[in-house]
Amino acid sequence: MEQLTACLARLPGVGRRSAERMAVKLVRDPDGLLKDVADALEQARGTIRCCSCCGSVTHVGADPCRLCTSPSRDDTVLCVVEDPNDIALIERCGEFRGRYHALMGRLSPMRGEGPANLRLQGLRQRLKDGHFEEVLLALATDVEGDSTASMIREYLADSGVRITRIAYGLPAGSGIGYSDPVTLGRSIKGRQEV
């Protein structure tokens, strides 16, 4: 139980207490949910991987992924994200048509993650091999995301590409009364012509 709980607690968004509840639920039904989860994990292990080019999730037989091989994508803009899930979220909005590069993390001294843990050399190689004119940093707006963006800006300073960052602002359907001062300040600084 301890090993199962420890493994579940390593998943994003799952704390120790939630992992314990999940572990108990799984072992209470060894021929039902536990078997289904084990089967799904085994199937995923054999059929799903991260794209060798962008890092997005893809089928083993489709590497590089459809986003990397599609001729309809814009080869001049490279969107840098923290992990593959961010690629799926951006794709759902339907506003970005360029290429992607997942870092597979971000700078986090608290978790012991530094530049060596990120796919930075792959990023530099893609810029060298491709025809990119812009790198769009689509990173979190917290301290770790900001420090990661600053580090990438410095790392790519000599690359000759324009480096941009996604806009900050208020969520759709929200009012300024529900905003924190930092987000509100960034929204005012990033205001646009109407």
Residues 62-88 have a mean pLDDT of 96
**Tokens for 46?**
């054999």
Would you kindly state where each structural domain of the chain is located, as residue ranges?
A: 72-165
Give how far Cα 144 sits from Cα of 31, 79, 108, 141, Å: 42, 18, 6, 8
Strand pairing report for 57-59 and 48-50: antiparallel
Q: Is 112 left (phi over 0), alpha (psi -120 to 50) or beta?
A: left
Residue 182's pLDDT band, with cuts at 50, 70 and 90, is confident
Q: What is the pLDDT of residues 131-171, one digit of tens each?
A: 999 999 999 888 999 999 999 999 999 999 999 998 877 77
pTM to 2 decimal places: 0.83
Write down the mean pLDDT value for the chain: 92
Q: What is the pLDDT of residues 84-129, one digit of tens each?
A: 999 999 999 899 999 999 999 999 988 889 999 999 999 999 999 9
**Taking the domain 72-165, which CATH number applies?**
3.40.1360.10
Q: What is the pLDDT of residues 10-28, one digit of tens each?
A: 998 899 999 999 999 999 9
Q: Is the dihedral of CA 55, 57, 63, 69 positive or negative?
A: negative
Provide the CA 53 distance to its chain's centre, in angstroms: 14
Residue 57 has pLDDT above 80, yes or no: yes
